Amino acid sequence: MKFDRRSFLQLSAAAAAGAASSLLPLRAFAADNKTVRIGYQKSSTLITLLKSEGALEKKLAPLGFNVSWHEFASGLPLLEALNVGSLDFSADVADTVPVFALAAGAKLVYVAQEAPSPTAQAILVKKDSPIKTIADLKGKKVAFAKAAGAHYLLISALASANLTFKDITPAYLSPADGRAAFEKGAVDAWVVWDPFVAAVQRQSEVRIVADGSGGIADYQRYYLASVPFAEANPKVVNAIYAELGRAGKWAKQKPADAAKVLAPVWGLDTATVEAANARRSYEVRSIPPTALKEQQKIADAFYNEGLLPKRVNVFDAVLWKPAV
């Protein structure tokens, strides 16, 4: 299935229907130009930490800004909301998501990225599965979320074994549905990211066939802002960037404390959260043009598989330059 702007909007609408905040409160806040509207997902770790302690509210109050929070089911509708002006800032989304947004004509600013976390997503099989290597996936049914980082991990892993996407039978499933299908034996393998990887590892007998190590998939997550908001409010964007960096350092230095905050939000025990967080870098950094090489690889891979309607040159994207 190719993703043009229409299909991008359709996906956005479908996922947004299950999001915690509808477009109604987004429109209400749009009239207040002193409110930063931040979109996030449940798995947006650093934003969740900042939200839980009211850190951004404290940081932005001296600049005359309030904060409103809007949870989305996935990254695609989040970036569409950002593109159409319903949000000002996006918490981290997987590295595949901006590529699809750019292909749909979105005008976004790349604010920051998290350093690579290649082991934070993986191709899983049951412990007794005959699948031992990536090559063994040929002819098998594999579950994963379409347009997610796991989708690219699968494409890149198959290529490393001289296979193509046509060599497997895809099952496009959300993480929750993917796990259900995996545990029932309806699929042969499941490709997903943390904390879902950590959860199934602790609760079931599974094996990792491959993760993103060895140059297969860096798995970098990105923070973005709308072009108009970033241009009009550079001090606010800089303040958010600084707080994300602080939260990332704290999460790595105090893993047990971070897990206590995140566990009830994610609905997981603290040990599982710690295991998941250990595989994430949480190193928030600015984005020099050279850092977009992986984004270009992703764009090219999806285009070559017929999943993007046109070639995307990510080096045309707008990069934020945080104040020193």
b (16+ CB within 10 A) / e for 244-280:
bbbbbebbeeebeebbebbbebbebebebbbbbbebb
**Rounded percentage of the chain residues whose pLDDT exceeds 90:** 72
Using 50, 70 and 90 to split pLDDT, how confident is the model at 24?
Answer: very low
Query: What is the residue-wise DSSP string for 147-202?
Result: TSHHHHHHHHHHHHTT--GGGSEEEE--HHHHHHHHHHTSSSEEEEETTHHHHHHH
Q: How confident is the model at residue 144 (pLDDT cuts 50, 70, 90)?
A: very high
pLDDT at position 51 is 96
Best-predicted range by mean pLDDT (6-10, 102-106, 194-198, 206-210): 206-210
- For residues 306 and 90, which has the higher predicted lDDT (pLDDT)? 90
Q: What pLDDT, on a 0 to 100 scale, did the predictor assign at position 72?
A: 86
In angstroms, the CA 283 to CA 41 distance is 19
Share of the chain above pLDDT 70, in %: 90
Please give the model's pTM, rounded to 2 decimal places.
Answer: 0.84
pLDDT band at 107 (very low <50, low <70, confident <90, very high): confident
> By three-state DSSP, how is residue 34 classified?
coil
Distance, in Å, from the CA atom of 92 to the CA atom of 78, rounded to the nearest integer, reads: 10
DSSP state of 113: E
Please tell me whether residue 108 adopts helix, strand or coil conformation: strand
CA distance 248 to 185: 37
CATH architecture of residue range(s) 118-211? 3-Layer(aba) Sandwich (3.40)
Q: Let me know: does 165 contact 139? Beta carbons within 8 Å.
A: no
- Averaged pLDDT, 287-308: 88
- Give the integer Cα–Cα distance in Å for 188 and 91: 32
How many degrees, rounded to 5, is the angle at CA 293 between CA 169 and CA 320?
Answer: 120
- CATH number for the region 5-117+220-319 comes to 3.40.190.10
Mean pLDDT over 165-187 rounds to 95
pLDDT tens sequence across 69-85: 999 877 888 988 998 99
Sequence ranges of the domains in the chain:
5-117+220-319, 118-211
Residue 7 has pLDDT above 60, yes or no: no
- Computed over every residue of the chain, the mean pLDDT equals 88
Q: What confidence score (pLDDT) does residue 288 get?
A: 82
Q: Do domains 5-117+220-319 and 118-211 have the same CATH topology?
A: yes
pLDDT over threshold 60, residue 4:
no
Q: Give me the pLDDT at residue 300, please.
A: 94
